[in-house]
């Protein structure tokens, strides 16, 4: 057992406490190897983001979204991966909260927007009809920079119309800063971008947000299709939500669909699009290019 002096012991106790709160599963946390590894990773991510962007370690993976009426791919979601030469693939679940905490997340988000824009431009140059790409924005992006101007600059640089880029924001972000975000979202909307509401039904959802902010598409959170919800009465909660949402002028995406039962149910119940492992997993650029080439159009 290592011995620490007073100040160091206090620091470590504080880290253990923060770690515990973040995990949200225990009431007691000893400062151990797990906590230490977590903080080392955090330090690494914080201090290497710019290098990671510069060196191409940050990559957009793409996951297709399927239009229910046609059964064809209608758009893609860009999902960030950190492919580290030493540490291997780091998942967004790990680096996103850390970059949000250090308020650097906008650098990563803009890099993903840039990669999506480059892909779209490439498709247009080949004379293809391209599907849109949705990108994820963090609530921090709205505070740490002028996210509207930053995205507009990238869009113009790649000579794209706003109709090719869809902006995903989570319901929890919107619930936390409704006034501040609404003003910026209105600017995006006025400039022709679509706004997609992510993770709907994940626990924060309130219908009032739909009345306050202009939303084009709602993505039903994948937790709605998993146990225990499905145990209650198969699709009781999802169907209830759909009933209400159908009164709003929005399209609906079912996210995280993993099997035929859910896919079929959502198709039958007026869901417009499906995204999930049942159809495709998020794929790296080269696989994406092959898929697009196979599909002929896009
Ligand atoms: P999200 O925006 O809700 O993205 C969907 C997540 O669900 C992705 O996880 C995707 O891989 C996963 N997924 C898709 N279909 C299925 C399925 O059928 N089953 C299961 N079990 N999972 C499925 P991923 O890529 O690990 O991303 C996790 C989260 O990290 C995202 O959730 C998003 O909130 C955040 N994120 C990812 N990329 C970015 C980014 O570029 N910027 C920001 N700000 N956040 C990002
Ligand atoms: Ca998303
Ligand atoms: Ca989601």
CA dist 13 and 37 (Å) reads 15
Cis peptide before 82 (omega within 30 of 0): no
pLDDT of residue 298: 44
pLDDT of residue 229: 54
pLDDT of residue 150: 98
Is residue 198 within 6 Å of ligand 1 at its C-beta? Answer: yes
CA dist 54 and 69 (Å) reads 41
Ligand nearest to the CA of 79: 1
Characterize 52-84 residue by residue with b for buried, 16 or more Cβ atoms within 10 angstroms of its Cβ, and e for exposed. bbeeebbbbbbbbbbebeeeebbbbbbbbbbbb
Is residue 140 within 6 Å of ligand 1 at its C-beta? Answer: no
**Axis-axis angle for helices 92-101, 33-54 (nearest 10):** 80
212 C-alpha to ligand 2 centroid (Å): 21
Tokens of 150: 């930053």
pLDDT of residue 296: 64
Is residue 80 within 6 Å of ligand 1 at its C-beta? Answer: yes
Ligand nearest to the CA of 78: 1
Residue minimizing CA distance to atom 37 of ligand 1: 79
- Identify whether the C-beta of residue 98 lies closer than 8 Å to the C-beta of residue 87: no
pLDDT tens for the chain, residues 1 to 298: 678 888 999 999 999 998 898 888 888 999 999 999 989 999 999 999 999 999 999 999 999 999 999 999 999 999 999 999 999 999 999 999 999 999 999 999 999 999 999 999 999 998 887 799 999 999 999 999 999 999 999 999 999 999 999 999 998 888 888 888 999 999 999 999 999 999 998 876 677 778 788 899 999 999 888 765 555 566 888 898 999 999 999 999 999 999 999 999 999 999 999 999 999 999 999 999 899 888 865 4
The residues that bridge with 133 in the sheet, in sequence order, are 76, 165
Q: 3-state class of 63 per DSSP? A: strand
Ligand 1 atom, smallest distance to 80 CA: 38
**CB-based contacts of 258, cutoff 8 Å, min separation 6:** 225, 276, 277, 278
pLDDT of residue 68: 94
Is residue 123 within 6 Å of ligand 1 at its C-beta? Answer: no
End-to-end CA distance of the chain: 60
Model-level pTM?
Answer: 0.93
- Identify whether the C-beta of residue 181 lies closer than 8 Å to the C-beta of residue 212: no
Is residue 93 within 6 Å of ligand 1 at its C-beta? Answer: yes
Q: Using the 8-state DSSP alphabet, how is residue 220 labeled?
A: E
168 C-alpha to ligand 2 centroid (Å): 6
pLDDT of residue 142: 95
């Amino acid at each position: 057992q290592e011995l620490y002096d007073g100040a160091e012991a206090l620091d470590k106790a504080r880290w253990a406490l923060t770690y515990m709160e973040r995990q949200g599963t225990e009431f007691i946390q000893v400062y151990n190897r797990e906590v230490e590894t977590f903080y080392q990773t955090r330090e690494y991510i914080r201090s290497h983001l710019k290098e990671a962007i510069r060196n191409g370690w940050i990559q957009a993976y793409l996951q297709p979204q399927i239009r229910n009426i046609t059964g064809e791919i209608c758009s893609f979601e860009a999902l960030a991966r950190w492919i580290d030469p030493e540490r291997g693939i780091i998942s967004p679940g790990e680096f996103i909260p850390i970059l949000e905490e250090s308020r650097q997340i906008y650098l990563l988000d803009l890099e993903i927007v840039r990669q999506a824009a480059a892909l779209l431009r490439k498709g247009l140059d080949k004379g293809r009809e391209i599907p849109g790409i949705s990108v994820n924005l963090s609530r921090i992006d709205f505070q740490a920079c002028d996210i509207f101007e930053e995205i507009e600059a990238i869009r113009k640089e790649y000579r794209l119309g706003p109709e090719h880029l869809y902006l995903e924001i989570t319901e929890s972000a919107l619930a936390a800063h409704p006034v501040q975000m609404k003003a910026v979202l209105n600017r995006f909307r006025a400039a022709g971008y679509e706004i997609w509401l992510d993770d709907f039904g994940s626990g924060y959802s309130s219908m009032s947000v739909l009345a306050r902010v202009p939303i084009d598409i709602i993505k039903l959170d994948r937790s709605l299709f998993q146990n225990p919800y499905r145990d209650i009465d198969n699709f009781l909660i999802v169907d209830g939500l759909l009933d209400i949402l159908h009164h709003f002028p929005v399209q609906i995406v079912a996210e995280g669909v993993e099997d035929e039962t859910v896919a079929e149910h959502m198709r039958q119940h007026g869901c417009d699009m499906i995204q999930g492992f049942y159809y495709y997993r998020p794929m790296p650029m080269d696989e994406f290019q092959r898929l697009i080439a196979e599909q002929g159009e896009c």
